[in-house]
Chain A
Amino acid sequence: MTTVAPERLTRIREIIAENIDVHSEFSDTALFVDELGADSLKLIDVLSALEMEYSIVIDMNELPKMVNVETTYQVTAAAAGW
């Protein structure tokens, strides 16, 4: 389990909220599709926004793992080598 850096987690939450178009509070385990109403296009928006933010490349095979804030942080951290 990756050690979570609070400031990075905050920024990743912001990116997720903006790209999934969520305007209310949500937990780190809230499911993007089932609970927050995301569709596949918005999930790709999240992935590409994270790539751009951190100048990294996230393998598309990792996309299915990005189901909530927690797992998205882990995928991003692995790609960035945090």
Chain B
Amino acid sequence: MTSSLKSPAATPAALPPETLVITGWSAVSPHGLTGRAFAAGVRSGAKTSVQPDEAYGPLPSPEVCLVPGFDIKGLLGPVGTAKMDRLTALTLVASDGLLQDAEGNRVVETDGRTGVVLGISMGSLENVTNFLKQSYTNALPFHVDAGRIPFGSLNHAAGATAIRHGLTGPNTTVAGGRVSGLLALNYARRLMGQGRATKYLVGSAEEFSAAHAWIEHTAVLPGDPSPLLGEGCGLFVVEHAGTAQRPALAAVLAVETRVDIDDDPGTAVTACVRRALAKAGVTADEVWAAVPSAAPTAAGRAEHEALTALLPAEALTKVPSMELLGDTSAAAATFQIQAVLSVAEGEPAAAGRIALVTAVDRDGAVGCAVLRLLDPNLAPNSDPNGATA
């Protein structure tokens, strides 16, 4: 084990200028409504599961990891929220936390080519299933709440975020389940590399609802308990290292995805991680922290075993297990990266180290991101000796 002996440069100046860097993040999670609450919750290893309100009706699992105090109208105001789905609301609150201070003043500069890419699984299942139920059970099939139709489109949360903050760059939704946070990050990296956007809001979101719980329940193998579900939205601001306007927290060295077509997720994760490390130009021994998705599935267990075989043992214990947030599905991979950033924030020795995040989905999608943690106290484009460019 050699990772503790390595001390790579922890400044954006040491990176090629086109390297994607994370310069801000926010989280609306079972730990609370802010990134600060998330970081504190992750570092303390706090449990977030609660007994759900009776208003949800019968549920397949006795506990759930909900965003506490998530009152849509209270947080976003009465206008436009009467029929808003929870997924959109989670995303909008996270975007406010990312771009604004507590008083609502914009603190992140954006321009006409700032894009939004959001990872989801199936959108707002509650909205869609309620709509279908109305169509099947009301007097006539078109006796449905038309005001909810826009919220049923898969791209609504990403579109509403762009409209709320005037972000006119590329706007995209990527539906990839647990891997979607990494797919979204890769999407942003690719489009910025092609010059189609100067900056991106990128992340992923999942809402909890009874419909979501029962659909997940149907996918459980016989004998396995229904999963403890979570919800939330994590967002990043990503920029190029050469033009970043804010201190960089981490550099995205590689994002690799593939599909497990042999029903052998362990082998797929191993190949994906090896490829990602090779693209990043680092070795498995250099990985300081690794965060698997901790999905409560056979694929999730295979993912953990693959990382255990590949990486230094201490890397897998640096960050508390994502199980503490419940299965946050599409939000998971973003929360995993944010969990690494949270732990790194409290450890000065983390700067310059390598972090690795993996995700697996039941449909066979596999993903891996390799990051270099940076020292946020150093200004963007500053040289390692402290002179600001």
Binding site for B on A (CB under 8 A): 18-19, 21, 23, 41-42, 44-45, 47-49, 51-52, 55, 57
Q: How far is the CB of A36 from chain B (nearest CB, A)?
A: 12
Task: Tell yes or no: B163 within 8 A of A by CB.
Answer: no
- The docked-state distance in angstroms from the alpha carbon of A55 to that of B134 is 12
Residues of A close to B78: CB separation below 8 A = 23
| Chain A to chain B: the 7 pairs with minimum beta-carbon distance, closest first | A48-B146, A45-B147, A55-B139, A52-B143, A23-B78, A45-B146, A18-B82
Task: Tell me which residues across on chain A come within 8 A of B143, comparing CB atoms.
Answer: 48, 51-52, 55
B134/A52 in contact, CB under 8 A = yes
**Nearest A residue (CB) for B134:** A52
A-B contact count (CB 8 A): 36
Expressed in whole angstroms, the Cα–Cα distance for A45 and B329 within the complex equals 32
Which of B138, B140, B144, B147 sits near A19, CB closer than 8 Å? B147
Query: Interface size bucket, B side?
Result: 10 to 19
Partner of A52, one of B80, B144, B150: B144
In the assembly, what is the distance between CA of A19 and CA of B78, in Å?
Answer: 12
- A48 and B144 contact, CB distance less than 8 A: yes
Q: Is the CB–CB distance between A48 and B139 below 8 Å?
A: no
Given A44-B146, A55-B140; 16 other pairs, CB 8 A cutoff: A42-B147, A45-B145, A45-B146, A47-B146, A48-B143, A48-B144, A48-B146, A48-B147, A49-B145, A52-B134, A52-B138, A52-B143, A52-B144, A52-B145, A55-B138, A55-B139
Q: Which of chain B's residues have a CB closer than 8 A to the CB of A23?
A: 78-79
Q: How far is the CA of A76 from the CA of B309 in the complex (A)?
A: 69
A57 partner residues in chain B, CB cutoff 8 A: 140
Please name all residues of chain A whose beta carbon is closer than 8 Å to the beta carbon of B150 when the two chains form the complex. Answer: 41
**What are some 9 contacts across the A-B interface (CB < 8 A)?**
A21-B79, A21-B80, A21-B82, A23-B79, A45-B145, A45-B147, A48-B144, A48-B146, A51-B143
